Structure 1
Amino acid sequence: MKLLDLGVEPEEVIAHPRHQAAQVDLVPLIERVRACCSPKDGYELQQDLLRQILEVEEHRNAFSKAVKRMRDGKPPQAGAPEPQSGLSPADIETWVLERELCERVARQFRSVGDALAWRAFNHDRRYILALCRNPPSGIMAGKAGLKAELETVETHWRDDGQFALMRDLTSCLRIGDITAWQDDGPHTYEIKTNARYRSTVQERRIATAYDAIRTGSALPGDNAGERLHDVDTPLRTHLELLQTATERAAKDGIFAAKVPGSRALLAVDLYGVIGQGWTRQEFQQRVARQWDAARRRACIGSQLDFNVHATSLDSVSRDPLRVPWGVYPMHPVAAARLIGDVMTVVVETSGPSLAEDLTARGIPAQWVRPPGTQNLMAGEVVMEMHNETEWRTANGLTATLSRTLQLKPSEMDHYLIELLDQDCWAAGIQHLLLSSGASDRPWPVFRDEGDTWL
């Protein structure tokens, strides 16, 4: 459930005391992630992050219990936390709001856990792509196996001086319970309080994930064609424009600009908007005017039904494939505002324009998504790219190799929200099309990616 679906205005969320307190807490946590350079740093940060998440999840559990009681015609249970919104505690909507705000704040703290995971893996995307392939974890507070996991973390630290990261503090790590960084690299473990309850299925998924990283074999899951593929192209982006956008939006309220590669970017900072003193109507008019101008400069404003976008709004710790804002090259305050939706970023492109760009680079591409303004659906094919290679065999015959790659929302999101340089992105696609060893569903990983993230 999203708070906007409950009819809650963004200003009500931002002004809520719990949300404001989280904004204050996020900044030093992000700073500590970026400063982590030893197992001790990671261990101590994890302890503080654990305390933050457990506290907010315990409150969420209590608010959830109160909501259930009120739906049964009973009053909230004795000892339930007091609602902080200032709304009437006699209304069930007040308690629903508090429950959903706790869920939201817990995800914001988990986004810091995601940043810690990226930092610990030295920003090697392969580990995230391999270890995210399970359903998301549930609530950590009250979890039966939590004590055993905490003891395992303590044992690694106390006995061997090793940092062991708990999966439940993140959204991007979903296979195994903890990952410990040992002398020969990271190892992921499933922790059980009783050896009789060992999950051989999960242990096999752990082994499959690490085999996929080391050997290029199939990733965990039912599709043997899903494999990591190293692209011999350094990652290049336009993230300096995102940094400019966050700085300008914080000052001016709104920033919109053309992004190379048939894209337009919009950043809105609520604190910056409030500082301008605009009415709601003035704000809406200014956003529309600047956004339309940016689209025109990017040449994507003529057929909006063919446009698709990626947004930061209420997205943290929902998609494990997204790079967490905490490791983006921007000020930690800007990262915290994006995590908490105090600032929102949208990046938009035109499908047909993008296909034309690739075709002009020698990659025949066709935008296949029908026109419509609805959001992209997981697994939906939006564009197809083709390649045909001919060669003569030893007996004089001509052989033709045809290959088609399908672009889906996960890769589109990667191109948009990370502001990939289009030449770099196209070179990666070309590499996959020409590679005889590429699988039917390759997950590309660019070279030297660690140089991009903080």
Structure 2
Amino acid sequence: MASAVRKTEVENFHDRHTGGMSLLYADAYDPDDMMVHPRHQAMQPVLAQLIQQLRDCETAEAGVVFQRDLLAHLLDMEKDYDAFKRAAKRMRSGKAPRPEAPEPQSGRDLADAETWRFEQEVCARLARQLRSVGDALAWRVFGFHRPFILALCRNQSPGMMFGKAGLSAELERFERACKEDGAFALLHDLTNCLRIGDMTVWDGVHPPRTEEIKTNPKNSRSAQLRRINQARAAVLEGGPLPGDNASELLYDLDLPLRTHLDVLRDALERAATEGIYATPVPGSRVLFVFDQYACVQQGLSSEQFNERHQHAVDGALQRAGIAVSREDHNIYVTSLDSTARDPLRVPWANYPLHPVACARLIGDYAVATVETSGPVLTRLLQATGLDARWVRPPGKADLQQGEVIMEIHQQERLRSVTLPGGLTMTPGWTLQMRRSELDRYLMELLQPGTWAAGIKHVLAARQAGQPWPHYRNEHEIWV
């Protein structure tokens, strides 16, 4: 590809799909600079090849080979990241980069410290993209059983592998487990979603065992071991999830997961040909997709892009019945620059899509955004018999982590209590829906009936605290 979509075109898309509320990329660089960078473009076939290699893994030995290959790519990228970081620091202090520093490929001024910092950010972003494929491996080896991910993601991201003090000990333990013990081991540092412990081992007999590995075993931290034990107990024994809130529990919905991911697959295929595609999705949603390769191949000018985009979006919003409330009550989730940032999201490499389509989503050469209207979504739940109320105030502010957006109330009609003065009290339960649950409904394109049934299931259980629900049969959905 000779170039990416013009900045004005991409920014227009972003403003319409996120309300213009935040930078296009978290690193704050011009999107064109990042997308046309030779390293960034060269990563696309690497990602597609790794995804296909992962899907072809049929044995534990193949899974070990895959991890070694992914590790090599990741360490190479992080090594360059570290070198560019050191070079940028030297430049800011008036010194020249060391001779062994890698050559910048952006074409920017080598005498400018920001050139080296930009190269550093490109490497950091590509390392995240590689880790997203590691996330796909983690989901697969855990049998797509979401509770393992929900339990083991509850730590801060450990950061880069390159230069890590305990890396040699981890690799030694990894090789020993796979070669000598006859087990399968998964290196957590290859992922973003596994943040508790350093490695999980499967011996073919017992449940998977998560380990904390230290160069000196006497230095094992009791806090980390405690979190490992909490995660294990949460999944296998129904204990609280790791953390200080004992009311956070996994909750088995005992329901099959049903999605409209076929709509996403079709939309990506249409966008790969047409450049821009928008369609309503059952459940008061609209899916927007644009493909930068197709837009460039068609030679769309900014004006043509904007006109085609506006027409597609307006039509889809009208058909979905959420055009009127868009200004104040519509909210969005997007794939844009989200790869390996949120450990709760299913990695794109696990979506039932072609590896090339997955790679484009990971690299933001294809962008998918799902939009809904809060009040309209509330009415959809009310139609299923749920007493739902949208509590998020009008406006375009970003959704915050942990923000309550909807409340769903259920009264215990058979348990009315008579109070003094002729009053009657009916006990009830209120389920508060937060951002992560809405994100899942939108980005995973859950069928509305499945989603509503899950909410009813949680309410019927009358479980106090903060349940983290999960469906059955996810191994049938993800690849």
Q: What TM-score, normalized by structure 1, do the two folds share?
A: 0.96
Contact 1:211 1:217 in 2 (8 A): yes
Q: Could you say which residue in structure 2 is the equivalent of 1:278?
A: 300
Secondary structure in 2 aligned to 1:391? helix
Give 1:392 deviation, angstroms. Answer: 5.5
Q: Could you say which residue in structure 2 is the equivalent of 1:43?
A: 64
Q: Does structure 1 residue 429 correspond to structure 2 residue 450? A: no
Q: Could you say which residue in structure 2 is the equivalent of 1:353?
A: 376
Cα separation, 2, equivalents of 1:347 and 1:3: 16
Q: Does structure 1 residue 158 correspond to structure 2 residue 165? A: no
Large movers: runs of 4+ above 6 Å: none
Q: Could you say which residue in structure 1 is the equivalent of 2:235?
A: 213
Cα separation, 1, equivalents of 2:445 and 2:428: 30
Unaligned runs of 5+ in 1: none
Give 1:388 deviation, angstroms. Answer: 0.8
What is the correspondence of 1:195-206 to structure 2 with a 5 Å cutoff?
A: 195-206=217-228
Cα separation, 2, equivalents of 1:189 and 1:378: 29
Give 1:160 deviation, angstroms. Answer: 2.2
Give 1:399 deviation, angstroms. Answer: 8.1
Give 1:232 deviation, angstroms. Answer: 1.9
Change (3 A) 1:334 1:205: same
Contact 2:415 2:427 in 1 (8 A): no
Cα separation, 2, equivalents of 1:266 and 1:341: 14
Deviates further, 163-172 or 400-409: 400-409
Q: Could you say which residue in structure 1 is the equivalent of 2:344?
A: 321
Corresponding residue pairs, total: 451
Cα separation, 2, equivalents of 1:442 and 1:5: 31
Deviates further, 75-84 or 341-350: 75-84
Secondary structure in 1 aligned to 2:140? helix
Q: Does structure 1 residue 340 correspond to structure 2 residue 363? A: yes
Secondary structure in 2 aligned to 1:157? helix
Q: Does structure 1 residue 311 correspond to structure 2 residue 334? A: yes
Change (3 A) 1:446 1:265: same
Secondary structure in 2 aligned to 1:47? helix
Secondary structure in 1 aligned to 2:413? strand
Change (3 A) 1:4 1:452: closer
- Give the one of 127, 139, 156 matched to 2:160: 139
Q: Does structure 1 residue 188 correspond to structure 2 residue 210? A: yes
Cα separation, 2, equivalents of 1:417 and 1:176: 28
What is the correspondence of 1:164-175 to structure 2 with a 5 Å cutoff?
A: 164-175=185-196
Cα separation, 1, equivalents of 2:235 and 2:276: 42
- Give the one of 118, 133, 137 matched to 2:139: 118
Secondary structure in 1 aligned to 2:63? helix
Change (3 A) 1:399 1:371: closer
Q: Could you say which residue in structure 1 is the equivalent of 2:109?
A: 88
- Give the one of 306, 315, 336 matched to 1:293: 315
Residue type of the alignment partner of 2:95: K
Cα separation, 2, equivalents of 1:191 and 1:376: 37
Deviates further, 101-110 or 69-78: 69-78
Secondary structure in 2 aligned to 1:249? helix
Q: Does structure 1 residue 381 correspond to structure 2 residue 404? A: yes
Contact 2:200 2:209 in 1 (8 A): yes
- Give the one of 432, 440, 443 matched to 2:465: 440
Residue type of the alignment partner of 1:207: N
Q: Does structure 1 residue 76 correspond to structure 2 residue 102? A: no
Contact 1:227 1:439 in 2 (8 A): no
Cα RMSD for the two superposed structures: 1.8
Contact 2:249 2:466 in 1 (8 A): yes
Cα separation, 2, equivalents of 1:110 and 1:80: 24
Contact 2:184 2:201 in 1 (8 A): yes
Cα separation, 2, equivalents of 1:399 and 1:36: 59
Give 1:371 deviation, angstroms. Answer: 1.1
Contact 2:267 2:289 in 1 (8 A): yes
Q: Could you say which residue in structure 2 is the equivalent of 1:108?
A: 129
- Give the one of 244, 249, 253 matched to 1:231: 253
Cα separation, 2, equivalents of 1:413 and 1:4: 19
Change (3 A) 1:129 1:4: closer
Cα separation, 1, equivalents of 2:68 and 2:271: 34
Q: Could you say which residue in structure 1 is the equivalent of 2:11?
A: none
Residue type of the alignment partner of 2:344: L
1:331-355 residue CA offsets vs partner (Å, 9 max, x unmatched) = 1100000000000000000000111
Q: Could you say which residue in structure 1 is the equivalent of 2:48?
A: 27
Cα separation, 2, equivalents of 1:5 and 1:327: 24
Secondary structure in 2 aligned to 1:382? strand
Contact 1:43 1:163 in 2 (8 A): yes
Give 1:5 deviation, angstroms. Answer: 5.9
Contact 1:226 1:439 in 2 (8 A): no
Give 1:3 deviation, angstroms. Answer: 7.4
Residue type of the alignment partner of 1:179: T
Q: Does structure 1 residue 403 correspond to structure 2 residue 429? A: yes
Cα separation, 2, equivalents of 1:2 and 1:113: 27
1:358-394 residue CA offsets vs partner (Å, 9 max, x unmatched) = 111111111111111122110111111110113359x
Change (3 A) 1:3 1:67: farther
Give 1:435 deviation, angstroms. Answer: 0.6
- Give the one of 270, 282, 287 matched to 1:265: 287
Q: What TM-score, normalized by structure 2, do the two folds share?
A: 0.91
Give 1:46 deviation, angstroms. Answer: 0.2
Q: Could you say which residue in structure 1 is the equivalent of 2:388?
A: 365
Secondary structure in 2 aligned to 1:405? strand
1:4-29 residue CA offsets vs partner (Å, 9 max, x unmatched) = 46663333222211111110100110
Q: Does structure 1 residue 253 correspond to structure 2 residue 275? A: yes
Q: Could you say which residue in structure 2 is the equivalent of 1:178?
A: 199
Contact 2:277 2:312 in 1 (8 A): yes
Unaligned runs of 5+ in 2: 1-21, 417-423
Residue type of the alignment partner of 1:403: W
Deviates further, 235-244 or 17-26: 17-26
Secondary structure in 2 aligned to 1:443? strand
Q: Could you say which residue in structure 2 is the equivalent of 1:420?
A: 446
Cα separation, 2, equivalents of 1:266 and 1:144: 44
